[in-house]
Amino acid sequence: MLTHFSAVLLFSLFVSIVFGITQRSEPRMMVRFGAYCFVLFVGITIVASWAMWAIKH
Amino acid sequence: MATEAQQIAQRVPGEKSSKPTLALIAGWLIPGAGHLVVGKYYRAALLFISILGMYLIGLGLQGKIYTPNTGDVLDILGFIGQLGLGVFYLIARIFGLGASSVTITLGDYGTKFLVVGGLLNIIAAVDAHSLANGRKQS
């Protein structure tokens, strides 16, 4: 069974691959944009998670 | 000798071709098939794996498969999103895969995987259409 965090990682990975391929024209830029999206997805999720923890406590 | 990409880019605007429509419909029905039509094999494989992954995880998390006839606006929107999965959605409906309602917490995540997978497939199909008609260069 997936944990919440592994679900986030897989979601971010697959969405970033599709975003990279469809939103850029050159293969090099596709990889860069995909990696950028992945980092943003995961990073924002972690920040939002800690923010919710801080609000609760 | 011009490459395939150059030939696509040099197509006369307004010139009629069935390839863009074929790429759009094939890409919608089978994730990545639109990119196969325009000769982008690696991209097609990555798109197929990604959208299939979203679909399988969604089903594995007991995500809800929407139907169009509930009358609830949110259900209709979910149905439209999941319809983007093409034959994957039909397979889920025919074989009764997924859940008819969300019964566990992770099931809500599964539903989001299925809806987003469908929306991503629509984006991929439109990208294949843009490649086929020359709007996107490569």
Complex ipTM: 0.92
The DSSP line for B52-99 is HHHHHHHHHTTPBPP-TTS--HHHHHHHHHHHTTTHHHHHHHHTT-SB
B97-106: pLDDT as tens digits: 988 888 787 8
- On chain B, the residues whose CB falls within 8 A of the CB of A11 are 54, 57, 112-113, 116
pLDDT band at B7 (very low <50, low <70, confident <90, very high): low
Give the minimum alpha-carbon distance from B46 to chain A in angstroms, rounded to a whole number: 7
pTM, two decimals, is 0.88
Q: Do residue B106 and residue A18 have CB atoms under 8 angstroms apart?
A: no
